[in-house]
Structure 1
Amino acid sequence: MLTSFSKATFASLLGLLTLAACSSTPQPKFQQELFETGASPYARNFNSNTTDTCEAARRALLSQGYLTTMTRTDTVDGTKNFQPSGDTHVVVEFHVVCTPGEEASDTSIVYVNAVQNGFALKKSDTSASVGLSVLGSLSLPIRSNSDAMVKISSETIPSGKFYDRFFGLVDHYLQTVVRTQAVPTNRIESRLLPVPVEAPALAPVAAMPDAIGKAASVEPASGTRVVP
């Protein structure tokens, strides 16, 4: 039969075990997303259309050594390789999406996301034995080393000064690069051409007298009349 002291001790131990069990299983990071409606650190507004803004983003990535691909006018992807040490390798993938702004037609919103992928050098030894029939059961071990880069991590770079510097560089190129301007749509007016007036018919030309017959009636200078 448990005494009052043993019951209190048992309850305390049970509470400590429950607390330890809860603290040993932390909540994953993807379950800690807040999805707030306020300003996003991954987005920025610009006073330019989507084509010019994405072009400025492409130039910003190119100026920092990123290899970019731009299959559409509103999307830019870029990659850059880093080598922190001889056994590790890091690849940063940049994704930029440009959408129309909410306030005016000549504004845009840029959404950016950068993923950091980590790779490590993995060494594996393989061995094999070769039996020589001449020497009986003697076997010689053969070893070979094969090294390969294995992906060990992949994480979105958290918000902070990293994206602030990128947005600042995009704004710099928007201020220095010539922007495209839309062709003004003026109203086209059409008018009917006047109906052409028919020209009056010309009077028939009188027949010219026969030059030969007229010449035959002319008397020669000697006074002799020529009869045809």
Structure 2
Amino acid sequence: MLTSFSRTTAAALLALLTLAACNTTPQPKFQQELFETGASPYARNFNSSTTDTCEAARRALLSQGYLTTMTRTDTVDGTKNFQPTGDTHIVVEFHVVCTPGEEASDTSIVYVNAVQNGFALKKSDTSASVGLSVLGSLSLPIRSNSDAMVKISSETIPSGKFYDRFFGLVDHYLQTVVRTQPVVSNRIETRLLPMPVEVTTPTPTPVPVPDLLDAIDKAAAAQPASGASVAP
């Protein structure tokens, strides 16, 4: 049988335990990170180059309505807006990084991360008073509503089927995307061309005009005159 003292002590201890449980602060999620060395749920290996894999990732996001930006061949960023209700708004930011694989030159590793940002409509009333001189110090309040979307949350989407479906879509586009083919560097042989032979045409020697006239006169004198008979 418990005495009044023991009952009071037990009640006090129970109250202290309840108070301690209520005052316990939950551990933040970032302190629960394990940083394990095993396979990462945010990464996947592909048998393709980093350029081809990132191009497939870009097409995968575009096919699902994401607005993508690709300023580099190894990085893809995309955003998509959602409107669950009239007073809430959600923006999903998708980040993709492609790095070379560890086994061969034509392999790559894709790291993905998606952040879900939540926005809510915040309504605020602003009031102003107008003094009326006719009525003395009487003032009338004038209210106006000012609505704005305020960011209320931001959290990385946890690993699961969300990323598995994305990786599966990337693999699908890798089968259909035109892969880049490196230019084969063949050995180039060089050789000297033979020197061109200069062809010269002999220039005819001009005959002096007086000599030409003498030759004509001599030929005319050697021929017999017209009507003359030649002795046998």
Same-fold call, TM > 0.5? yes
- Which secondary structure does the structure 2 equivalent of 1:170 belong to? helix
- Partner AA of 2:58 in structure 1: R
When the two structures are aligned, how many residues end up with a matched partner? 215
Partner of 1:223: 225
Partner of 1:131: 131
Of stretches 214-223 and 63-72 in structure 1, the one that deviates more from structure 2 is 214-223
- Partner AA of 1:112 in structure 2: V
- Which secondary structure does the structure 1 equivalent of 2:95 belong to? strand
Partner of 1:59: 59
Partner of 1:70: 70
Change (3 A) 1:142 1:20: same
- Partner AA of 1:139 in structure 2: S
- Partner AA of 1:214 in structure 2: A
- Partner AA of 1:70 in structure 2: M
- Partner AA of 1:216 in structure 2: D
Cα distance, 1:134 vs structure 2: 1.1
Give runs of aligned pairs for residues 1-228 of structure 1, distance below 5 A.
13=13, 17=17, 20-21=20-21, 24-193=24-193, 196=195, 207=205, 209-210=207-208, 211-219=212-220, 223=225
Tell me the alpha carbon deviations over residues 118-176 of structure 1, each in whole angstroms, 9 at most, x when there is no partner. 00000001111111001112211100000000000000000000001111111111101
State how far apart, in whole Å, the 2-side matches of 1:206 and 1:90 are: 98
Change (3 A) 1:109 1:222: same
State how far apart, in whole Å, the 2-side matches of 1:66 and 1:46 are: 22
Change (3 A) 1:67 1:222: same
The unaligned stretches of length 5 or more in structure 2 are 227-232
TM-score, L = length of structure 1 = 0.83
Change (3 A) 1:177 1:206: closer
Of stretches 206-215 and 28-37 in structure 1, the one that deviates more from structure 2 is 206-215
Change (3 A) 1:67 1:213: farther
Change (3 A) 1:197 1:59: closer
State how far apart, in whole Å, the 1-side matches of 2:204 and 2:69 are: 84
Of stretches 122-131 and 16-25 in structure 1, the one that deviates more from structure 2 is 16-25
Tell me the alpha carbon deviations over residues 41-96 of structure 1, each in whole angstroms, 9 at most, x when there is no partner. 10011111111111111111011000000011110000000000000000000000
Change (3 A) 1:199 1:87: closer
Structure showing greater Rg: 2
Cα distance, 1:213 vs structure 2: 3.5
State how far apart, in whole Å, the 2-side matches of 1:123 and 1:197 are: 91
Of stretches 178-187 and 145-154 in structure 1, the one that deviates more from structure 2 is 178-187
The unaligned stretches of length 5 or more in structure 1 are none
- Which secondary structure does the structure 2 equivalent of 1:77 belong to? strand
- Partner AA of 2:218 in structure 1: S
- Partner AA of 2:82 in structure 1: F
TM-score, L = length of structure 2 = 0.82
Cα distance, 1:205 vs structure 2: 7.1
Cα distance, 1:26 vs structure 2: 2.0
State how far apart, in whole Å, the 1-side matches of 2:154 and 2:29 are: 13
Cα distance, 1:222 vs structure 2: 6.8
- Which secondary structure does the structure 1 equivalent of 2:84 belong to? strand
Change (3 A) 1:37 1:183: same
State how far apart, in whole Å, the 1-side matches of 2:215 and 2:116 are: 113
State how far apart, in whole Å, the 2-side matches of 1:176 and 1:201 are: 65
Instruction: Provide the alpha-carbon RMSD of the alignment.
Output: 3.0
Change (3 A) 1:199 1:63: closer
